[in-house]
């Protein structure tokens, strides 16, 4: 038993020594707050229905006001905005809000409850930015619609600061699709560059439940939770969350700005 304890301590020290070379932040919340302070739009890419991530966001929401966040964008169809507004104003109708089943869970709806429970002058405005189901398959795709929804916030509120909670693959800075993919679309970030060329944007992806042999970030930071800027230090590293999207191989640092590894 003593041997295993010593081995575990030694392994932990090695991990911290190694990870220290990459200037990681062991407090993801302070990392996100720091990025919010210096940017106009922060994307927080998530794996859906992960309690650890949703609880992290729940603890973050009450602090958004202090760093100037005016709007909190959610991956909810925009035709549900009136229901969200009604709930925020009255406390009624939380379960009348239609949320996409792969996202919907008690912890996700709790995000709206936390927003509502804040004092009115400390409450970021929740904004439903996703494409209504009635518009699917028509002239516009989801990413274009979400980019337009975010852009509209700034046109109506020039001094806005926006926090966007969205699925990880929607945060990618570019989408260089494989040749066989039909109906190739641009990313939200690419569309925002066109719509809001002067906006300072930062994308953070939460890396969770990845297999160590498929994700170098999970393998190397396996004993700690770490937040890191994703830059040239990680050239050649594999990111497991990219394995499910049919884009051409690319360095992770060209696709996201930061990572939180659980």
**Distance, CA of 87 to CA of 83 (rounded, Å):** 6
Provide the greatest CA pair distance for the chain.
Answer: 65
Distance CA 87, CA 68 (A): 23
Q: Give the containing element (helix H, strand E) for 107.
A: helix 106-117
Determine contact, residues 190/174, Cβ cutoff 8 Å. Answer: yes
Residue located via tokens 């609880």: 55
Classify domain 25-261 by CATH architecture: 3-Layer(aba) Sandwich (3.40)
Q: What is the pLDDT, as a whole number, of residue 224?
A: 87
Q: What is the pLDDT of residue 21?
A: 65
Domain segments of the chain as ranges: 25-261
Task: State if pTM tops 0.75.
Answer: yes
Coil, strand or helix at 127: strand
Grouped pLDDT means (10 residues each) for the chain, 262 residues: 49 47 88 98 97 97 98 98 98 98 98 98 98 91 97 97 98 97 94 97 97 95 91 96 96 98 96
CA dist 164 → 17, 38, 213 (Å): 33, 15, 30
CB 208 within 8 A of CB 262: yes
Q: How far is CA 260 from CA 8, 53, 135, 230, 249, in A?
A: 23, 10, 33, 10, 21
Question: What pLDDT, on a 0 to 100 scale, did the predictor assign at position 11?
Answer: 45
pLDDT of res. 7: 42
Tokens of 244: 């499910």
> Rounded distance, CA 250 to CA 117, Å?
42
Tokens of 146: 């979400």
What is the end-to-end Cα distance of the chain in Å, rounded?
27
Separation between Cα atoms, residue 107 and residue 55, nearest integer Å: 7
Please give the Cα distance from 251 to 231 (Å, whole number): 9
């Amino acid at each position: 038993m003593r041997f295993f304890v010593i081995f575990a301590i030694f392994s932990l020290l090695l991990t911290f020594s190694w990870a220290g070379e990459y200037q990681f932040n062991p407090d993801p919340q302070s990392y996100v707050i720091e990025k919010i302070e210096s940017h106009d739009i922060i994307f927080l890419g998530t794996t859906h229905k992960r309690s650890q991530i949703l609880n992290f966001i729940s603890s973050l929401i009450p602090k958004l006001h202090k760093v100037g966040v005016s709007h909190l964008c959610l991956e909810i169809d925009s035709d549900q905005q009136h229901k969200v507004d009604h709930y925020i104003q009255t406390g009624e109708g939380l379960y009348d809000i239609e949320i996409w089943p792969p996202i919907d869970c008690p912890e996700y709806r709790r995000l709206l409850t936390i927003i509502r429970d804040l004092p009115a002058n400390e409450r970021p405005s929740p904004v439903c930015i996703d494409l209504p189901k009635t518009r699917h398959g028509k002239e516009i795709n989801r990413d274009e619609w979400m980019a337009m929804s975010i852009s509209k916030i700034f046109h109506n509120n020039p001094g806005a600061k926006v926090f966007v909670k969205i699925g990880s693959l929607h945060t990618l800075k570019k989408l260089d699709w494989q040749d066989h993919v039909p109906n190739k679309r641009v990313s939200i970030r690419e569309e925002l560059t066109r719509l809001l060329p002067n906006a300072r944007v930062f994308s953070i992806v939460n890396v969770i439940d990845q297999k160590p042999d498929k994700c170098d970030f999970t393998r190397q930071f396996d004993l700690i939770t770490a937040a890191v800027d994703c830059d040239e230090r990680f050239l050649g590293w594999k990111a497991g969350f990219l394995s499910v999207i049919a884009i051409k191989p690319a360095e992770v640092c060209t696709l996201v700005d930061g990572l939180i590894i659980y």
